[in-house]
């Protein structure tokens, strides 16, 4: 372990932010998304796509969004519920690696670590070797 840069005055967060301290930032971002979409979404669903390395942001934002939408449903029963979903785009490993990362982190921050409680994860194309389409297309997706 490395000592913090300023002893007693620093917050040490593991690489990738894979810890519960990152929840505060995810809560703020979720509030911004819910506030914006409740005023501008016009009843349409929203998919928030997040790149996933350690998948910390994805998992914590997913949990925050779900909590806020549930709170909104109970407080504003006469308004239609928001349909905001989080989708993870794996940037390290494949979809199963991303899922294992999130399930492990979920257990470490008080969740149950159940697959059904995790956000959706995009799967790499199965008809090609992992990464080769990404190199050819200069990105994760190809459109058209």
In this structure, are residues 53 and 92 in contact, taking their beta carbons and an 8 Å threshold?
yes
On average, the pLDDT of the chain sits at 83
Give the strand order in the sheet containing 84-90.
Answer: 46-52, 84-90, 120-121
Provide the pLDDT for residue 144: 45
In this structure, are residues 80 and 38 in contact, taking their beta carbons and an 8 Å threshold?
no
41 phi and psi angles, rounded to 5 deg: -75, -20
Could you tell me the pTM of the whole model?
A: 0.78
State pLDDT tens for residues 68-117: 999 999 998 888 899 999 999 998 888 999 999 999 999 988 899 999 99
Half-sphere exposure of 104 (CA within 13 A, CB side): 11
Q: Are strands 120-121 and 46-52 parallel, antiparallel or unpaired?
A: unpaired
């Amino acid at each position: 372990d490395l000592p913090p840069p300023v002893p007693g005055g620093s917050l040490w967060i593991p690489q990738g932010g894979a810890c519960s301290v990152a929840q505060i930032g995810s809560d703020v971002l979720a509030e911004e998304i819910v506030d914006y979409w409740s005023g501008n979404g016009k009843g349409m669903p929203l998919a928030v796509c997040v790149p996933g390395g350690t998948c910390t942001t994805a998992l914590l934002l997913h949990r925050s969004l779900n909590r806020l939408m549930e709170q909104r449903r109970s407080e504003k029963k006469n308004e239609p519920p928001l349909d905001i979903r989080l989708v993870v785009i794996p940037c390290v490993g494949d979809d199963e690696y991303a899922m294992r990362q999130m399930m492990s982190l979920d257990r470490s921050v008080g969740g149950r670590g159940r697959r059904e409680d995790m956000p959706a994860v995009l799967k790499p194309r199965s008809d090609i070797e992992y990464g080769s389409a990404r190199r050819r297309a200069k990105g994760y997706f190809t459109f058209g």
